[in-house]
Structure 1
Amino acid sequence: MRRPKILVVDDEQDLCEILKFNLENEGFQVDTANSAEEALTLDLSQYQLLILDVMMGEMSGFAMAKSLKQDPALAATPVIFLTARSTENDTITGFSLGADDYIAKPFSIREVVMRVKAVLHRTCRKTEEPDALLSYNGLEMNLEKKTVSVGGTSIPFTKTEFELLRVLLENRGHLFSRQELINRIWPRDVFVVDRTVDVNITRIRKKLGPYGKNIVTRLGFGYYFDE
């Protein structure tokens, strides 16, 4: 079983480093970001828990959490809010956004560690071995080894093709616009046109053989994986 991976997002750099140090000592993998905007440039699907400060720069922790909950691929990711604001209304707001816990500052590191363990115990499923395999009938994706096979035969995929297929297969029936796929797959500092998505989808369909037809085009809208 892999070590759970946590992202700490707080505009206090010293606090980020303290949490990182102590959580890593407990066996977790920890990354940090000093703003919600910085955090959103990362691949958030790799984390089993997000620890978000509420009061940050342009985008608050509440706003970031609301954005994540609207993304089907990230909506189930557990969130713990950290905040100096501990009024009843703030707490209610946090939990209404799907928070798994709400910790008021100042807090003890020991308390944070205990709460992190409790949340992961309840919710963390991405670290379990079965989730390393994504499949549909004879189509299988090994998310650990980054491989794709059809009918037991391994098919070579580029990183971009793999990530596109993963998004579609993980969210079967969900229609993605080309821009949504671009936002998920390509780095934000890379200019990508809609045609690039179309070309990659065409290659994926050819490689999938009989399962290529499961990737459906809705003209003017985008693509989805049809069961």
Structure 2
Amino acid sequence: MTDRGLVLVVEEDRAIADLVRLYLRRDGYGVHVEETGEGGLAAVRRLRPAAVVLDVGLPGLDGIEVCRRLRAEDDWTPVLFVTARDDEVDRIVGLEMGGDDYVTKPFSPRELVARVRTVLRRAAARPTTDEEVLELGGVTMNVDRRRVTVGGVEVALTSTEFDLLAHLLRRPGRVFSRAQLLGAVWGYTTGPGTRTVDVHVAQLRGKLGPGSPIRTVRGVGYGADAP
């Protein structure tokens, strides 16, 4: 394993897996490859990778089910989905199951590596001298400890959900367009579609419950205000 950490690649196409492994290693990551969903699930539990690059269309246990099982076990290892079709339904379902991002085949290996860097950056703690705590309504976020509570009860968020919520809570009352959120949270200069933001907002609201401070401004985007 190298300094950047281990990335687990779960991909049945050997040529694609070898290409991804080559580019990730060039960027300083250790790489472990599995060809099946069952093997990938076991490898996450055994190796505790920093991130998972997960093909949606795996035989048998598909990628979405692998992610669903991990999240059900309270395992929030960042997951980057790879899907063979430019199918919005696949992408939305993957994000709803707790995925952090996705790329569509055929993809640029450099883009995939950049996406891996982004999800790992979002997942990393940001230590500071004084802990940053954000509060709005019944939601309390300790940014440095990566913990969110609602009414004193801890809520498990993906790294992407966490950073999206932090971005909104740091600027209460301000409304952001979907393009602004894609740039600030996902790091995209051109986005994969506005549904990415919509799905993550819906997931966040569901987890935060009635006390969610996130509001929709029709035709503009999203902001955070005390309910």
Give the TM-score of the pair, scaled to structure 1.
Answer: 0.52
Is the alpha carbon distance of 1:61 and 1:87 closer, same or farther for their aligned partners in structure 2, counting shifts above 3 Å? Answer: same
Q: Secondary structure at the match of 2:81?
A: strand
Q: Which residue of 1 aligns with 2:7?
A: 6
Is residue 104 from structure 1 mapped to residue 104 from structure 2 by the alignment?
yes
Query: How far has the Cα of 1:86 moved from its partner?
Result: 2.0
| Counterpart AA for 1:26 | D
Residue segments in structure 1 that go unaligned for 5+ positions in a row? 129-227
SS at match of 1:66: helix
Distance in 2 (CA, whole Å) between partners of 1:101 and 1:80 is 5
Partner of 1:115: 115
Deviation at 1:38, TM superposition (A): 1.4
Shift of 1:31: 0.4
2:22 corresponds to = 21
User: TM (normalized to structure 2)?
Assistant: 0.52
1:29 is matched by which residue type in structure 2?
Answer: G
Aligned-partner Cα distance in 1 for 2:119–2:23? 17
- Deviation track 1:63-90 (CA, whole Å, cap 9, x = no partner) reads 1000100112x2x110000011222211
Tell me the residue number matched to 2:42: 41
2:60 matched to which residue of 1? 58
Given that 2:3 and 2:29 are in contact with CA atoms closer than 8 Å, whether structure 1 keeps it comes out as no
Gap change, CA 1:56 and 1:43, over 3 Å in 2: closer
TM-superposed deviation, 1:47: 0.5
CA deviation after TM superposition for structure 1 residue 121, in Å: 0.7
User: Which of these two proteins has the greater Rg computed from alpha carbons?
Assistant: 1
Q: Quick one: which amino acid aligns to residue 111 of structure 2?
A: E
Q: Which amino acid aligns with 1:56?
A: L
Distance 1:78 1:43, change over 3 A: closer
Structure 1 distance, partners of 2:88, 2:18, is 29
Distance 1:2 1:79 in 2: 19
Against the structure 1 CA distance between its residues 68 and 113, is the aligned structure 2 distance closer, same or farther, given a 3 Å change threshold? same
Which amino acid is the alignment partner of residue 123 of structure 2? T
Aligned to 1:89: 89
Instruction: Tell me the CA shift for residue 117 of structure 1.
Output: 0.8
3-state SS in 1 of match to 2:95: helix
Q: What are the Cα deviations for residues 40-66 of structure 1, in whole angstroms up to 9, with x where unaligned?
A: 232535201011000011110001000
Q: Give the alignment of 1:61-76 within 5 angstroms.
A: 61-72=63-74, 74=75, 76=76
In structure 1, C-alpha distance between the alignment counterparts of 2:32 and 2:50, rounded to whole Å:
12
Percentage identity across paired residues of the two chains: 33
Name the aligned partner's letter for residue 54 of structure 1.
V
Match of 1:194 in 2: none
1:107 alignment partner, SS class: coil
Query: How much is the aligned-residue C-alpha RMSD, in angstroms?
Result: 2.1
Count of aligned pairs? 125
